[in-house]
Amino acid sequence: MTPFRTTLLFLCTGNSARSIIAEAILRHRGGERFVACSAGSHPLGEVNPFALELLASRAIPTEGLRSKSWDEFAGEGAPAMEIVITVCDNAARESCPIWPGAPASAHWGVPDPAIVEGNEAMRRAAFDSAYMALNDRISALLRLPAGEINQQVLKEIGNRS
């Protein structure tokens, strides 16, 4: 018998860095409890190479990661989401689709590493910082018993610095 897993969608605007990183971390660390997905309101169509490199350097699988529209998760036949988390301020302000089942939602704002300008070391440091913020929040989520995950707790996790 397969145990029940909570379906969680990470949203961002471009779905190329932060939401992809969050999806990969949760898939890797919480795959027995969660089905992790990510999407964007205006997907860029490709995953940022720095995000893929960062995940690979931490031995987090990147197979199957792709930049996709949130429309894939809002239409007929899409999996029902129990939790929807925005990871960028733009996506948090946008008018999101109506998610069937009224999932719990929260905002876990993380600065966009993909817009950081400068040399390669500065850009890598921005991706590392985004990874650490998301990993810390996902770690807090994974420490919770399933029955204690609710909208208020998700928002409290998002307010952690």
* CATH number of the domain that residue 26 is part of: 3.40.50.2300
Summarised one tens digit per residue, pLDDT across range 90-109 is 655 656 666 777 789 999 99
Structural domains counted in the chain: 1
Cβ within 8 Å of residue 135, ≥6 positions away: 25
Q: Does the structure show a pLDDT above 80 at 21?
A: yes
Query: 24 in a domain, yes or no?
Result: yes
Cα separations in angstroms, 83 against 54, 118, 130: 25, 35, 21
Q: Which residues are catalytic?
A: 12, 88, 96
- Lowest mean pLDDT: which of 27-31, 92-96, 141-145, 154-158? 92-96
Higher pLDDT, 147 or 3: 147
Give the domain range for residue 96.
6-149
Q: Does the structure show a pLDDT above 60 at 46?
A: yes
Query: 155 in a domain, yes or no?
Result: no
Cβ within 8 Å of residue 159, ≥6 positions away: none
pLDDT given for residue 1 in this prediction: 41
| E strand or H helix that includes residue 37 | strand 34-40
Nearest CA-CA partner of 3 in 37, 26, 32, 36: 32
pLDDT given for residue 78 in this prediction: 83
Query: 95 in a domain, yes or no?
Result: yes
Q: Does the structure show a pLDDT above 50 at 118?
A: yes
Query: 159 in a domain, yes or no?
Result: no
Query: 142 in a domain, yes or no?
Result: yes
Q: How confident is the model at residue 146 (pLDDT cuts 50, 70, 90)?
A: confident
Query: 161 in a domain, yes or no?
Result: no
CA-to-CA distance for 16 and 52, rounded, in angstroms?
Answer: 10
Mean pLDDT of the chain: 90
Q: How confident is the model at residue 160 (pLDDT cuts 50, 70, 90)?
A: confident
Query: 55 in a domain, yes or no?
Result: yes
Query: 158 in a domain, yes or no?
Result: no
